[in-house]
Structure 1
């Protein structure tokens, strides 16, 4: 079996998608065994699950197993390394703790298994429990910044749960919807194409579900968020109704709206009674700040800010 030098600098970024390859065996004798006789390479004698060593990793990229003393040039390189290592081994990764120095750079960080921590219900309804996948896994690495480099201080590679290298690309930490896919989803949603049709076209273009670094649920979540941020026809009407109800409760509430021919909001101004009353007494200093620009509704947000006797 060919080996490669274990240097941190040689690890490569994994391409989006998930490639299923046969596990390389550690000896020629295992090749001669049947599939049912092949031992589980992730199981240890004490019942816990250890991360696969270097010569048992899936795929063509050889990644060094984390050990104390290994150094990385930056925090970003350390984060990419451990995320790729976790993906190859078959578990999710997360940042469990970090500390920053006075300059804002990370001086200490702890990366660990995504199933670390205590399991607890995410709902208060005891009739419908919604437990998390936490198993209090202790697999983690600690890194400290030493002379400008991130150095691994302590390493624990033992897991208390099973590992799934073939399914790791579908873990939440490894799923990502690219900007190109977002533009396609936005365009299809605006033209009235249903999500199952849009996702089906993405699957065909990628050559299968296993080649997509995201699930259909991720596409649904993105479109739901985009619809909330998109103020289309009818959104101005909902805002106008809200202002009308507010003005009915308090006649001193003032609002003015400008709509286009399609009923879309172009400009809106409002002032609540408390601010108008404060301006009568503290109108000496008022700023019109236009630095709060946002592209959420493709409109600038400019507040009038007054200064009272409390500063």
Structure 2
């Protein structure tokens, strides 16, 4: 069904799904361009949906430094569908369907960013693979093998990375790492001198964590001439080294300058 000016939608999600479906049938990707909000109540009253080749990329001032510049994919295509809110419904107010580029065949249209989707069942399989230590690339190759090649998957390796990253972020909200980071933020609000830092690996998972409260920092200024660094306290259930920076004060009492929860005892972690 070709869009017409007499089309109306109950909400913006319905309008977006219609535009996605139309792009799939015709062979082009789609994007959300911009919107306007009402000054009265802040609700959206205007939305513009466009072809994925709309506009042109702005020149990059760093071009002379880039060894492998990205391929230009936009052609300034003016295909668009604009909807405006009228009497509580969204009506198509402007429509232009003349592309300035060839359309894609149906065999490849599923690989447009607007069409790619990770099935729920395969998402669970990827989560299980990550939990047992299988690398993302190996999981992607395995899924490709099941369906007869990457072109039949309907998603890319980048989609897997995004999916698993979002999953880790959701778990972090309720997991141990999330509790630890919330504790750090709370301490920082109470005292801006509180210091903490953490490192993540190539897959955005937290590895090494360091912290020092204001008392530790003050003790370090006073008694930091000699420092003991000890990582013998691997007594937590994850068996991760807890590193302690410590020394003695003028009463020969032990003072702690800082602590770090490490992923392992490698040179990279110690640095």
TM bin, normalised by shorter chain, reads 0.5 to 0.7
Of 63, 66, 70, which aligns to 1:130? 70
Q: By how many angstroms is 1:138 displaced?
A: 0.7
Cα RMSD (Å): 3.6
> Which one scores higher on RCO, CA 8 angstroms, separation ≥ 6?
1
5+ long unaligned stretches in structure 2: 179-199, 222-233, 242-271
Deviations 1:140-179 (A, max 9, x none): 0111111222111111101111110322210112212244
Of 104, 108, 113, which aligns to 1:172? 113
Structure 1 248/119 Cα, relative in aligned 2: closer, same or farther at 3 Å? same
Q: Give me the TM-score of the superposition, normalised by structure 2.
A: 0.59
Structure 1 148/252 Cα, relative in aligned 2: closer, same or farther at 3 Å? farther
Partner of 2:45: 107
State the alpha-carbon separation in 2 of the partners of residues 236 and 217 from structure 1. Answer: 20
State the alpha-carbon separation in 2 of the partners of residues 192 and 175 from structure 1. Answer: 26
Higher strand share: 2
Of 87, 100, 105, which aligns to 1:147? 87
Structure 1 247/223 Cα, relative in aligned 2: closer, same or farther at 3 Å? farther
Of 55, 58, 82, which aligns to 2:19? 82
Structure 1 264/65 Cα, relative in aligned 2: closer, same or farther at 3 Å? farther
Structure 1 147/187 Cα, relative in aligned 2: closer, same or farther at 3 Å? same
In the alignment, is residue 260 of structure 1 matched against residue 197 of structure 2? no
Partner of 1:159: 99
Q: By how many angstroms is 1:69 displaced?
A: 2.2
Residues matched between the structures, number = 195
Q: Give me the TM-score of the superposition, normalised by structure 1.
A: 0.52
Q: By how many angstroms is 1:194 displaced?
A: 3.2
State the alpha-carbon separation in 2 of the partners of residues 76 and 110 from structure 1. Answer: 13
